[in-house]
Amino acid sequence: MRWVKVFTREFPFLPYVFVAKGYREYQKKIIGVGFSEILGKIENGIMTTYRKEDEIKAYFKQIEKKKKDKKFIDKFSENFREQIKKLRKAVEEVKSTPQSFLNLGEIYAQFWAYYLFTFYAEMTELRKISSGVYDYAHEGFLKILEKLDQKVELLMYATPSEIIELMKNKKIDEKILENRRKKCVFLIHNEKNIEFFYGEEADKMARKVEPESFENVDILKGNVAYGEGKIRGKVVVVFRAEDAKNAEGKILVAPATQPSFTPYLKKVKAIITDEGGITSHAAIVSRELKIPCIVGTKIATKVLKNGDKIEINFEKKQIRKGWKND
Question: For the chain, which residues make up each domain, given as ranges?
Answer: 3-207, 219-321
Longest distance between any two alpha carbons in the chain, whole Å: 69
Q: 237 — phi, psi (to 5°)?
A: -90, 125
Exposure string of 304-316, with b = 16+ CB inside 10 Å and e = fewer, is beeebebbbbbee
**Span 52-89, pLDDT tens digits:** 999 999 999 999 999 899 999 999 999 999 999 999 99
- Tell me, what's the pLDDT at 213? 73
Query: Which has the higher per-residue pLDDT, 215 or 256?
Result: 256
pLDDT at residue 214, as a whole number = 81
pLDDT at residue 325, rounded to an integer: 59
Residue 192 and residue 170: Cα distance in Å, rounded? 17
Please report, rounded to a whole number, the percentage of residues in the chain having pLDDT higher than 90: 74
Give the pLDDT of residue 326: 52
Alpha helices in the chain (DSSP H): 13-21, 27-31, 53-66, 70-92, 98-120, 124-130, 133-145, 152-155, 160-167, 174-182, 199-209, 262-265, 281-289, 300-303
163 half-sphere exposure, CB direction, 13 A CA radius: 30
pLDDT of the residue at 211: 65
**What is the predicted pLDDT for the residue at 195?**
96
Collect all residues with Cβ–Cβ distance below 8 Å to 221 and sequence separation of at least 6: 297, 317, 318, 319
pTM of the predicted model as reported, rounded to 2 decimal places: 0.85
DSSP secondary structure of 179-201: HHHHEEEEEEEETTEEEEE-HHH
- Name the average pLDDT for the chain: 92
Distance from C-alpha of 5 to C-alpha of 36, rounded to nearest angstrom: 15
Rounded average pLDDT over 294-304: 93
Residue 149 phi, psi (nearest 5): -90, 50
Percent of the chain with pLDDT over 70: 98
DSSP string over 9-22: EE--HHHHHHHHHI
Alpha carbon distance, N-terminus to C-terminus of the chain: 47
- Tell me what pLDDT residue 116 has: 85
Q: How many CA atoms lie within 13 A of 44 on its CB side?
A: 2
**Mean of pLDDT values over 145-151:** 93
Query: Domain 219-321 carries which CATH code?
Result: 3.50.30.10
Instruction: Kindly calculate the radius of gyration of the chain based on its CA atoms and give it in whole angstroms.
Output: 20
pLDDT (tens digit, 9 = 90+) per residue, 87-135?
A: 999 999 999 999 999 999 999 999 999 988 887 777 878 877 887 787 8
Give the dihedral of Cα atoms 97, 102, 103, 107; nearest 10 deg: 150
**Res. 260 pLDDT band, cuts 50 70 90:** confident
- pLDDT on residue 315: 95
10-19, 163-172, 211-220: least confident range: 211-220
The residue-averaged pLDDT of 287-295 equals: 95
